Each structure stands twice: as C-alpha cells, then as structure tokens.
Amino acid sequence: MKKIIKTLFSVLFVFVSMSFQGGDILCNAKELKEKAKELLEPYKYDSSELTRIMYKKKESIKEVEVPLFIGEKYRIAFELEALPKQVEVRIYNKDKDSKNRKLLFSSKDIGAEKKEFYFEISKTRRIYVDYIVPPTEEGSYSGCAVFMVGYK
C-alpha cells in the first residue's frame, strides 16, 4: 500500500512541476544557466538559483539568501535576459528586516540596461540578493532571473 501511495505522489508531483514550467517560454533554465556559467570563468561552479519574477501594479522586492564560506573568494554571475522588463539587482550583507544593513552592490552602478554581469566578494558568511521589480501598467506578467555562484 505504501508503494502505491509513494508512486501516485511521485507521478502527481511530476505533473504539477511540468504544468508550472510549460507556461513560460522565456524561462529556459538550462540555456540561462549555460550563459551564466560562461561569466564564472575562471571560478569553479558552486551553485545556481532560478528565480521567478512576477510583475505587479506596485513595486515589489524578491529576496534570495546565499550562504557562503568565510575565507573563499566568490563570483556571483547574473543572467537577466528572460525578464520582459529590467529589474534592479542589489546585494546586501543582511536580510531586508535587519537594522544596519549594508549595500554591497547595485546593478544601477554598472548600467541599468545590462542583462549579464557579475559581482565578486569574499570574507562574508552570507549575502542577500534583492530583485527590485518595477511596477507595470499592462497587467501582471512574469519572467525569470538566474544567478550562479562560483568560488576560487
């Protein structure tokens, strides 16, 4: 009986996962990750994160925590070409609810229209990547952003 329940649950999970992936042609995770991986050279791949960005009538913030090891040098590469409207990427040393939060990087500083870029950091235990999603008047739509972490 347990095997049947596990099998049914597995099949249901696969169908649900596929239904969420099929609706957005722009979010080809494999292609986006390959492009981001090129920006990591000469760093070694550590991890990556695909983030779905939902545009709404009000500006919103999507935050992702990235754990790191102290003593390593990291490069975080971003690939934003699958976003229908440009977002600002900010990297902080603490989460959005913390006091004394310090801005480490902003994509505004390198040019608002760049779709590929990277940031290098060391001597920290974790960083917080914030996607500042601008409001939209045309209704809600979505896209995805990828960042990839490499170490030296």
pLDDT of residue 60: 93
Return d(Cα 78, Cα 68) in angstroms, integer.
17
Distances (CA, A) of 138 to 85, 88, 145: 12, 20, 20
Q: Which CATH class is domain 27-151?
A: mainly beta
pLDDT of residue 141: 82
Q: SS3 for 16?
A: helix
| Per-residue pLDDT of the chain in tens (152 residues, 90 and over written 9) | 555 444 434 433 434 343 343 334 468 999 999 999 999 999 999 999 999 999 998 999 999 999 999 889 999 999 999 999 889 999 999 999 999 999 999 999 887 678 999 999 998 899 999 999 999 887 678 899 999 999 99
Domain boundaries, the chain: 27-151
pTM to 2 decimal places: 0.78
User: What's the one-letter identity of residue 136?
Assistant: T
pLDDT of residue 138: 74
